[in-house]
Structure 1
Amino acid sequence: MVHRSFFFGPTEVSALRRKHLPAQLRGCSTFELLTVCLWRSRTASLGADPKEEVRIICIVNARNKFDPPLPHGYYGNAFAFPVAVSRAGRLCRNLLGYVVELVRQAKSSVTEEYMRSVAVLMVARGRPHFAVVRSYLVSDVTRAGFGDVDFGWGKAVHGGPTMGGVGAIPGVASFYIPFRDGNGVPVCLPGPAMKRFEEEIERLIKEEPPTTDQDTAPPFMPSAL
């Protein structure tokens, strides 16, 4: 497995928005934009069968989903793992706008009702692990404040995972980490796939996209469990 970090500053983010998103979607968050670029590039680089289902798992903060809100000082888990699913061929064939819609639908599915339903499901099924086959998990830690922690030696030089693919299953997860004037994303892939991934990312940033019809995103967003 090969580890590499990719950096997306204002120039790269602006190019991705301008070249690959329709006007009505250019206001999407940087998280959504980077997620769709990484997911599609990763799927293409791994050579997934066009008919296979692939998944993107987004960690979503659920603290603001409850009414009444969670009490001040609550430090338990308050996040969800909503999933967007697509056939690999459809994901790689369509423009990025189609993929943004998939990710947005997955994120918007996290409501108070969704969270309570997931809690019941986890109890009923014994806290199952999220599905990892043909899955890619991303999480934004740019606002987690890791870089502001000071134990007496000044602010941290780095705050967040040092490599992509951390955890029990290498290559499944990436975290968006703040760096000067942008975001850094550690990625872990097999050697040949990493080379193709680099080429895919470079192509998205530098080349104009082909014109193609957009598929309609499915309305149902399953859970990662």
Structure 2
Amino acid sequence: MGTSCVESPSLVQDLKVTIHETSTIFPSKETEKKYLFLSNIDKVVTFDVDTVHFFSANKDFSPQKVAEKLKKALEDALVCYDFLAGRLSLNPETKRLEIDCNAKGAVFVVASSERKLIEIGDLAYPNPAFAHLVHKSEDFLKPTDLPLCTLQLTSFECGGFAMGFTTSHTAFDGLSFKTFLDNLAALAANKPFAVIPCNDRHLLAARSPPRVTFPHLELIQLDYLPTGIESSVFDASNEELDFRVLKLTSEDILSLKEKAKGSTNARATGFNVITAHIWRCKALSAPYDPNRSSTILFAVDIRSKLNPPLPKGFAGNAVLTAYAAATCEELEKSEFSRLVEMVKEGAERMSDEYVRSIIDRGEVHDGFPHGDVLVSTWWRLGFEEVEYPWGKPKYCCPVVHHRKDIILLFPSFGAGGNDGINIIVALPPKEMQKFETLFHMFLNSV
């Protein structure tokens, strides 16, 4: 098999970044002052998402020219994406979180690095120094005036550059952020929007009265919501963690699909077999207790699950966490096809009624996704396919934090071609050693 593990490289610790200009970007036209309703999905994900998009040098687009075009494009984008220039606000009457579309603006930062892109090494490897390529606005604005979008353009000595976004997850999920990037790229090229955004979050409002028709074992219930609380899978760990990038080639994925057939010829998707494989390895890498239950969480796009489906340009969060649960003994001894089937059942559980039940539950109880591992896939979001005037990104990635219960899936295009995927894992050293052993053992077993 072509499976491999990227050894921990000697990472550049300091990108030697200098901030040259920090400014507030306002909509290029006057926008309506209003409050944007946030769904029960939006209001749970109140944390920021940091992403970095790397570009090779382009002789026709200097970093200075890119900065000018991006700044103008962002100003124009904030007209339709008016909520992105707003601020989170708690409605004193309803006690609901909402966005005050007050046109206070987004933040635009121009910076430079004394490094060359080639000095950074393998962009696919999670480097904490990438945090230098995104900008936190606490030092620039008041704590009560934090923007929902910050864009930092950092040029490198070689002429390449990076676009670093910090966006509130309340504003976008991965798919709607991809649409935003497509539209930003179109504006930078003096073209119309690729997709007109639909900002109506009422499409995912709870029913009246709420009807919770399923038990929702994937959620932990909170009777009150302390400020800033996050679920266990989102919490950063204080433990010492080892990072690994494990690779699965297309041949490996095909092999997993063959194993998944079992006694049937049922078709298994690449995502389902990869998720089942990761689940078994993660559960069995912890201290072994055959009776311990392991729950895996994974994101499901609900846009097409609803009746009627959401509009293509829906700009809010339309992803929920599906789940599968089994004991460690079942994960160790069951046929691989059965594990894949459980993952498949988790996704298929997301019917229109199930989704509406989750949303309604958020009206009755505050809660968060609850499990011991979350698989977060950037594999097919398509950030790397966005066509800017200066070309497509060389690589796109989040700024990786120490979260041992989140495993990330990425396309491998940034590390030697389009063949397969990269799996980013962070675990305590002993668990990492066990995880790697199981990863290869189960993959290569007959």
- TM value normalised by structure 1: 0.81
Count matched residues.
201
Query: Is 1:140 aligned to 2:140, yes or no?
Result: no
SS at match of 2:304: coil
1:174 is aligned to 407
Contact 1:142–1:183, Cα closer than 8 Å, also in 2? yes
Counterparts of 1:64 and 1:86 in 2: how far apart (Å)?
Answer: 28
The SS at the match of 2:398 is coil
Once the two structures are superposed, the pairs formed by residues 1-20 of structure 1 within 5 Å of their partners are 1-19=241-259
Shift of 1:21: 3.8
Pairwise CA distance, 1:207: 2.7
Aligned amino acid, residue 356 of structure 2: R
- Displacement, 1:110? 0.2
1:34 aligns with 2:274: yes
Residue 190 (1) aligns with residue 439 (2):
no
**1:152 offset after TM fit, Å?**
5.2
**Among 364, 370, 389, the residue aligned to 1:131:** 370
* Alignment counterpart, residue 106 of structure 1, candidates 346, 351, 354: 346
1:136 maps to amino acid: V
Aligned equivalent of 1:93, options 333, 341, 346: 333
Mapped contact 1:162–1:186 kept (Cα < 8 A): no
Kindly provide the amino acid, as one letter, of the partner of residue 370 in structure 2. A
Match of 1:222 in 2: none
* Structure 1 counterpart of 2:24: none
Find the aligned partners of 1:72 and 1:54 in 2 and give their Cα distance.
Answer: 35
Alignment of structure 1 residues 75-86 onto 2, 5 Å: 75-86=315-326
Gaps of 5+ in 2: 1-240, 413-417
Aligned-pair RMSD on alpha carbons?
A: 2.0
Amino acid at match of 2:386: V
* Separation (CA, whole Å) in 1 of partners of 2:323 and 2:339: 12
Greater length-normalized contact order (CA 8 Å, ≥ 6 residues apart) = 1
SS of the residue 1:154 aligns to: coil
Deviation at 1:31, TM superposition (A): 0.4
Determine the C-alpha separation between the residues in 1 that align with 2:383 and 2:331: 34
**Larger helix share, 1 or 2:** 1
1:144 CA drift (Å): 1.0
By how many angstroms is 1:69 displaced? 2.2
d(CA) in 2 for partners of 1:47 and 1:25?
A: 35
Deviation at 1:10, TM superposition (A): 1.7
* Per-residue CA distance 1:101-135 (angstroms, 9 max, x = gap): 11111110001111111011012112x12224xx1
Cα distance in 2, alignment partners of residues 26 and 200 from structure 1: 25
Q: Output the TM-score relative to the length of structure 2.
A: 0.43
In the TM superposition, residue 193 of structure 1 has moved relative to its aligned partner by: 1.0
Residue 37 of structure 1: SS of its match in structure 2?
A: helix
State how far apart, in whole Å, the 2-side matches of 1:176 and 1:151 are. Answer: 24
Verify the 8 A CA contact 2:257 2:270 in the aligned structure 1: no
Q: CA shift at 1:142, angstroms?
A: 2.0
1:47, distance to aligned residue in structure 2 (A) = 2.3
| Matched residue SS, 2:397 | coil
